[in-house]
Amino acid sequence: MNEVVLNLAALDLAPPIAARRFAKLDLQFVSQLGAELYSEEPLLQRVAPDRAMRLAALIVAKAPEVNAALFVSPSKGCPHDQVQVRYASIGLEVMGVLYDRQRHGALTTVEADRQVWRRLAA
């Protein structure tokens, strides 16, 4: 989620009760929910990692191939339709490198941005 690698345990992704509760939601709805969360708190993945993990679990439940999400909010409290949302599927090798760098405190926003989104600047 953005520049933070979240580790979601397989059992946490779709507990039977939650899976039934959220079965009718689609990825567009989950994206809108994420945009609302990030409009309230642009650094959600840092400030409220538990909420970011629940959002990530919903994204994976709706699109299992997605393993990277980017929510860019221009400012705290902005309208949710101003939050940009992107998804990607990156290789496990890249995920492993990013996770290892994060564990050692060496993962930067710029590096995550370049590795995942292939942009030149964060």
Q: Exposure pattern of 96-122 as b/e (b: 16+ CB <10 Å)?
A: eebeebbeeeebeeebbbebbeeeeee
| 71, 85 Cβ separation under 8 angstroms | yes
Q: What is the dihedral of CA 103, 69, 45, 84, to 10 degrees?
A: 140
The pTM for the full model equals 0.82
- For the chain, 122 residues long, give each residue's pLDDT as a single digit of tens: 778 888 776 445 555 556 667 677 899 999 999 999 999 999 999 999 989 999 998 998 899 999 999 999 999 999 999 999 999 999 999 999 999 999 999 999 898 988 898 765 44
